[in-house]
Amino acid sequence: MTPAPRLRGLTSGMSDELGFNKIAGAVLATGLAIVGLGELSNIVFQYEPPAKPGYAIAISTETGGAAAAVEAPIDWGTELPKADVAAGKTITAKCQSCHNFDQGGPNMTGPNLYGVLGRPPGSHPGFAYSDGMKAFAAKQPIWDYEHINDFITAPQKYIDGTKMTFVGLKQRQDRINVIAYLHTLGSALPIPKPNPAATATAAGGAGASGAAASGAAAPAAAAKK
């Protein structure tokens, strides 16, 4: 019966060795798993540095497209008699923060516009006009229909340095109606006789130019195909 203590010691030693092996195996397996996940992430999310640093910006190289439509000249003798004066007055409501339209009314941010049609540019008493307007007045004797129309289309583009910051009236009929309304405000500028032939001729010339441009563009477009 004396061998019993030795048997218990042997069993205890084997148990401790098995426990150590289990712990070591678990640590090894965990390490292998971490290494494996790292390698997998490198494969999935592989980073390739760009050839040149910076941001890629796509730039279209095509410069073609339809040319901007050229507006035909206005036949004032035909358009003014049939213009909507009331609509023109309504449109000028947006101008009243800078201009007064009453006879004898004060200058504001801009000059009083009563009687502006037919008077010399830059001539209303008491208003300090810009150098750009003074230069324009030196070469243009009066505000006629054509020059008023061109000016209110895009004031800053038409007269460089003007104090008028209004973006302009882009619609042709709006400008005709406004000018018809201004004509009722003490203007002595006569309405010319109708001359639709001149407008038709100018419109036809613009159309022919557009057709020629389209024809010239067609072979280039065909060559790209």
Predicted TM-score (pTM) above 0.75 = no
Which pLDDT value is given to residue 155? 94
Does residue 67 form part of some domain?
A: no
Does residue 187 form part of some domain?
A: yes
CA distance 214 to 173: 28
Which pLDDT value is given to residue 59? 39
Number of domains in the chain: 1
Which pLDDT value is given to residue 71? 82
Is the CB of residue 128 less than 8 Å from the CB of residue 173?
no
Which pLDDT value is given to residue 62? 44
Which pLDDT value is given to residue 219? 43
Over the stretch 114-147, which tens digit does the pLDDT of each residue have? 999 999 999 999 999 999 999 999 999 999 999 9
Does residue 178 form part of some domain?
A: yes
Is the CB of residue 150 less than 8 Å from the CB of residue 136?
no
CA distance 131 to 158: 14
Does residue 3 form part of some domain?
A: no
Does residue 28 form part of some domain?
A: no
Is the CB of residue 151 less than 8 Å from the CB of residue 82?
no
Over the stretch 157-181, which tens digit does the pLDDT of each residue have? 999 999 998 999 999 999 999 999 9
Residue 167 maps to which CATH number?
1.10.760.10
Does residue 70 form part of some domain?
A: no
Write the CB contacts of 135 (distance below 8 Å, at least 6 apart in sequence): 161
CA distance 27 to 22: 9
Range of the domain at 158: 76-203
Does residue 90 form part of some domain?
A: yes
Give the chain's residues under pLDDT 70.
1-20, 33, 35-69, 199-225
Is the CB of residue 70 less than 8 Å from the CB of residue 172?
no
Which pLDDT value is given to residue 54? 43
Q: Give residue for tokens 């159309």.
A: 207
Does residue 182 form part of some domain?
A: yes
Which pLDDT value is given to residue 29? 74
